[in-house]
A and B are shown apart, each in its own frame.
Chain A
Amino acid sequence: MKKLSVVLAVVLVLSLFTGCQENKDTPDKGNVTNGGDVSGDTSNNENSKEAVEVTILGTIKSEIGEAFEEAVATYNQSQKQFKITIIPMDGQNPFEKMTALYASGHAPTIMVMGQEMAEFKDRLLDLSETEFTKLAFPGTQANATMDGKILGMPFTVEGFGLLYNKKVLNEAVGGTFDPAEIQTRTDLKELLDQIEALDGTKAVHLSPMDWSLGAHVTNILFSTQAKKADFMNGLKAGSINLMDNEIYHGWLDTFDLLMEYNIHEASPLSGDYDGGTIDLANGKVGLWFMGNWAYAPLHELNPESEFGIMPYPISDNPEDYGNTHISVGVPMYMVVDKERSSQQEQEGAVDFLTWLVTSSEGQDYFVNQMNFIPTFNGFETMPKDYMSKEILRYTEEGRTLEWMNMKYPADGWPAMGASMQKYLNGVIDQEALAEEFEAYWEKQ
């Protein structure tokens, strides 16, 4: 009896081992197929007509999760060759999830990447020859081009600046508000006063989140400099004194102005993203520094009102670069793994991405359901909402500021965001803020 139980225990343990072994095998098999050494496997799959499963990590953004899932379902029904499966993000941050999946040998085929791309560049498929790469607007691929290869598909453009509630601003100016009239800080101040004159309306909601302050508000400082690259390198080398930089002061003076008219002036760190959305949607404030990703929740809260976007002026001279510009950039790229995914999986990934931006069904999801602004030629469906149209107009007129924040180190926005929060809360002044920025950049 005892002997029997020992044998049983050993068998159980051994089966555990083999269980692990089998799991480990799967990705290796994929690898071999990828290398093209075993061709039997590949043809087998095609003959048996079983759809190739292609994985994608996450739903691009949590806000559009449902619409994206529907798009995937529609694609899966539209053809029999490939089946897209979404790997849930489980609330982890993408970099953590991606490294964990890579380390375990189960890398997803399609991923969404931003700054992480440099770290993964040797593992990503060169997308230079794909249809969507050829259709993409010029300049949108700059941040995804590495070692002469285009590794990412620019998914959309987003813009940030001062969002406004058109109805409130029309009332404030007594007529039709024209954002082109706001070209200087003085113009902005007049507008703020006009909004405050309305009953029960404060002028601005200034959100204190570190990503908003650290990545978006600071972007204006970096991208309005005459020589952007030199400015960033100078900060790293410690050769730039921000207190001598005219744009630094102009940029902060506007920030001071917004702070003064802030709905949370008495306790500036009280605001949050949801609060900003509610305040602007319901017309409790006229302006909110944010980006067009907030359009969907704004529209949902108040479908009647229209929301626009306008520049953040940095001086009193309308001619100054940046006073009539908004920040527009590509927030993320779709990339395809070539290290762990088989040839077919890669093909499926490219096919799905192509479908999304070239077929009329895909375009409908892209523009109407997911609210993305297309960055490709030949789009038949165009965004109909006012804010997206405004962003497209700024882009066409070339009145856009580059997203320099894509070039920040990974801890750039949390570090500068924390300093900006101190400034917003009145803990430090312009000089101390300059010192904190300089100290951060010199460490890089």
Chain B
Amino acid sequence: MLKEKSRWKKLLSFIQFCFIPLFAFLMIVIIPFISGVFNTFTDFNGIEMTKMVGVENYRKALTDKTFWSTLWLTIQYVLCSVIFTNLIAFLLALLVTSKIKGKHFLRSVFFMPNLIGGVILGFIWQFIFSKFMVYIGDATGIALFQYSWLIDTNKGFWAMVIVSVWQMSGYLMLIYIAGFIGIPKEVLEASSIDGATKIKQLVHIRIPLMIQAFTIAVFLTIKNSFMVYDLNLSLTNGGPYRSTEMITMHIYNEAFLFQAYGTGQAKAVILFVIVAAVAITQVLITKRMEVES
């Protein structure tokens, strides 16, 4: 009897505190998501629907060659940006948690790029790639900088990777710093008494103890890189000849530019499934690697 009452009380206080956020979440995320998935089975054209069309939209989406080629390009982009961003962020974190001078200043400097919004950042870098670099190329005669990177298929891709790494690594650095700081001092002291070198300490003690930071950081980069749009839009806008069009831009164009809501939305659902699968696998794997001191 008493137990039941306390459960009721708990539920009541839960509702008291969480109803409004839950309500907002339901209205803004859950319901639009469900209606979005539902719409992929209809002939919804953005204004109204007249009939159900079954899996027709999915058939069209899956048989579209450009969908697969942009998806493949996006996967390459995700791989590159996840690896480089995390590597650089980790090294930066290592640097600013060491005993160098001005580490607090450096922390804020490295974090700064993250404070610039995606589109503005894109335009700044667009200027750097298409005007400044070309200027350097003209002045020095270095062939690499002679023409804008953004009009070349491969260089355009790498330009995007560079900018996203530059933007994200400062943010992830914070997560890694938190990971480093969270390591108990005793363990490190004990290991140094046992004669472990700095490198050995890093590989065998510090990294295993901060796997949690990796879980979060890798998850964030995977998600962010799959969903990249603003950078793509402001840097290359998919050019040249739509060869740097990432999956999100492809979906947006399909739905709004080419006025094919059904297939666009179906592609978005497929992308959701893929990203969810990748992210869950990653979290499960890294979770298993987590150890406690």
Residue of chain A at shortest CB distance from B66: A415
Cross-chain contact A93 with B256 (CB below 8 angstroms) = yes
How many residues on the A side are at the interface (Cβ–Cβ under 8 A)?
Answer: 33
Interface of A is mostly: helix
Question: Interface readout for A269-285 with B: 1 if CB under 8 Å, 0 if not?
Answer: 11000000000000000
Instruction: Give the chain A neighbours of B47 by CB distance below 8 A.
Output: 99, 102-103, 119-120, 123
Q: Is A9 an interface residue (CB 8 A)?
A: yes
Q: Is A78 an interface residue (CB 8 A)?
A: no
The docked-state distance in angstroms from the alpha carbon of A120 to that of B261 is 15
The interface of chain B, by Cβ under 8 A from chain A, is 12, 15-16, 19-20, 23, 45-47, 130, 146-148, 151, 239-242, 253, 256-261
Instruction: Give the chain B neighbours of A46 by CB distance below 8 A.
Output: none
Cross-chain contact B12 with A6 (CB below 8 angstroms) = yes
Residue of chain A at shortest CB distance from B255: A96
The docked-state distance in angstroms from the alpha carbon of A421 to that of B237 is 14
8 closest cross-chain pairs (CB), A and B: A99-B46, A269-B151, A411-B258, A418-B241, A96-B256, A267-B147, A421-B241, A410-B259
The docked-state distance in angstroms from the alpha carbon of A103 to that of B253 is 19
CB distance from B67 to the nearest CB of A (A): 13
Instruction: Give the chain B neighbours of A411 by CB distance below 8 A.
Output: 257-258, 260
The docked-state distance in angstroms from the alpha carbon of A190 to that of B184 is 81
CB distance from B102 to the nearest CB of A (A): 40
Question: Interface readout for A361-375 with B: 1 if CB under 8 Å, 0 if not?
Answer: 000000000000000
Cross-chain contact B256 with A16 (CB below 8 angstroms) = no
**Total A-B residue pairs with C-beta atoms closer than 8 Å?**
73
Instruction: Contacts A119-B45, A210-B239, A269-B240 given; indicate if A414 touches B257 (C-beta within 8 A).
Output: yes
The docked-state distance in angstroms from the alpha carbon of A220 to that of B240 is 23
Cross-chain contact B151 with A9 (CB below 8 angstroms) = no
Instruction: Give the chain A neighbours of B15 by CB distance below 8 A.
Output: 9
Cross-chain contact A95 with B259 (CB below 8 angstroms) = yes
Pick the contact of B16: A6, A96, A266, A418 (CB < 8 A): A6
Instruction: Give the chain A neighbours of B12 by CB distance below 8 A.
Output: 6
Cross-chain contact A93 with B257 (CB below 8 angstroms) = yes
Question: Interface readout for A91-125 with B: 1 if CB under 8 Å, 0 if not?
Answer: 00101100110110000000000001001100100
> Could you show 25 A-B contacts with beta carbons less than 8 Å apart?
A5-B16, A12-B20, A13-B20, A16-B23, A93-B256, A99-B46, A99-B47, A100-B46, A102-B46, A103-B47, A208-B240, A210-B239, A210-B241, A210-B242, A266-B147, A269-B151, A269-B240, A410-B260, A411-B258, A411-B260, A414-B242, A418-B242, A419-B241, A421-B240, A427-B241
CB distance from B140 to the nearest CB of A (A): 17
The docked-state distance in angstroms from the alpha carbon of A85 to that of B261 is 29
Cross-chain contact A119 with B259 (CB below 8 angstroms) = yes
CB distance from B266 to the nearest CB of A (A): 16
The docked-state distance in angstroms from the alpha carbon of A409 to that of B257 is 11
Instruction: Contacts A103-B47, A267-B151 given; indicate if A116 touches B241 (C-beta within 8 A).
Output: no
